[in-house]
Amino acid sequence: MANAIEVENLVLEYGKNTALNGISFSVPEGTVLGVLGPNGAGKTTAVRILATLLKATSGSARVHGIDVGDNPNEVRNTIGLTGQFAAVDEYLTGYENLEMVGRLFGLKKAEAKTRADQLLARFDLEYARDRTAKQYSGGMRRRLDIAASLIGRPKVVFLDEPTTGLDPRSRMAMWDFISDLVKDGTTILLTTQYLEEADRLADRIIVLDKGSIIAEGTADQLKAQVGGERLEFVLTDASQKDRALEILTPIGLDAPSYDAQTRRLGMPVSGGADDLTTALVALKEADIHVVDVGLRRPNLDDVFLTLTGRAAEDEQAVEEEK
């Protein structure tokens, strides 16, 4: 499979601050690469270089074999860009925004209109077609932003933190839209701070920390490193331990562990909340009482803790502490 994106030894220095410290990766055509990292890791910097908005200090990047530094205009014709720098006009309606982008993209008037309506339908925004973008919610605006980036039917799309700040329902809706894009064969580079999001959408993940790649692999490989999902129960009565272990064993991926001191039972699972419900119902039927219950999913912090021995640093938080 040919690579849609190839990055070699990319370095970006802002004065004496190194935003990218020589990263290399490639993204095969039609696949999704998740770039996972906390604030300040260098995600947007990498995207901006690939999208030809920023020149690398050294190293090279190619999109469909075309060097972003040497031939930025050619690259721009094949990509769709969304995120922190997207240009949705607040005072135009959703429809007008898309029509305008279509015209800017060189579509004929009739074509731009048709395309605008197609994209509004595709992103469930038909009902808000004639409202100004100013009246859109955060989730609707992100969808409009992505719709605008797809006007030119790009083969490669960059999504820079598409769900940061969205409520859970809008986040799930966004995941569905992104999955549809993937089905069309679009190559996607998606940056995110959420392991769950990368897990859901990405074929491969690179973990970025302070401008360097500190891990890469599939979501399963990363999760295996950090230990996956776990169910935990604290028994009310320690004498019910054996019976509880017997009931829980078939639900877990592995035999449950038990800590006598805390009366805590824990086991790895793969079914999330469904497994939690199954386990609770089974325990209740057996009249086994618990004082505490929890479902733990590994997140970016767990990944960082495992990989670096320290928590993911939020650069903004660090700044604020100063």
Q: Which residues are at the interface with ligand ADP (CB under 6 A)?
A: 14, 17, 19, 37, 39-45, 315
Contact segment (CB under 5 A) with Mg ion among 43-51, 171-179, 200-208, 305-313 equals 43-51
Q: Label the pairing between strands 156-160 and 17-28.
A: unpaired
- Closer Cβ to Mg ion, 56 or 125, answer by number: 56
Instruction: Please identify which residue in 7, 20, 27, 44 interacts with Mg ion, judged by CB under 5 A.
Output: 44
Give the shortest CB-14-to-ligand ADP separation in angstroms. Answer: 3
- Closer Cβ to Mg ion, 41 or 98, answer by number: 41
Task: Please name which of 52, 54, 145 lies closest in space to residue 97, comparing C-alpha atoms.
Answer: 145
Q: What SS3 state is found at 271? A: coil
Residue 40's binding partner, choosing from ligand ADP, Mg ion, none, with beta-carbon cut-off 5 to 8 A by kind?
ligand ADP
Give the shortest CB-61-to-Mg ion separation in angstroms. Answer: 17
- Closer Cβ to Mg ion, 43 or 171, answer by number: 43
The answer to whether 187 and 158 are in contact (CB under 8 A) is no
CA distance 182 to 154: 12
Six-digit token string for 163: 């769900």
Residue 14's binding partner, choosing from Mg ion, ligand ADP, none, with beta-carbon cut-off 5 to 8 A by kind?
ligand ADP
Dihedral Cα 75, 76, 78, 81, nearest 10 deg: 120
- Residue 146's Cβ-count burial label (10 Å; 0-12, 13-18, 19+) is buried
Give the shortest CB-172-to-ligand ADP separation in angstroms. Answer: 23
Please identify the residue of the shown chain whose CB is closest to the bound Mg ion.
44
- Closer Cβ to Mg ion, 93 or 191, answer by number: 191
The Cα-based distances of 60 to 22, 24, 50, 57, 301 in angstroms read: 10, 9, 10, 9, 31
Give the shortest CB-44-to-ligand ADP separation in angstroms. Answer: 3
The answer to whether 112 and 103 are in contact (CB under 8 A) is yes
Give the shortest CB-53-to-ligand ADP separation in angstroms. Answer: 11
Residue 75's binding partner, choosing from ligand ADP, Mg ion, none, with beta-carbon cut-off 5 to 8 A by kind?
none
Which residues are at the interface with Mg ion (CB under 5 A)?
43-44
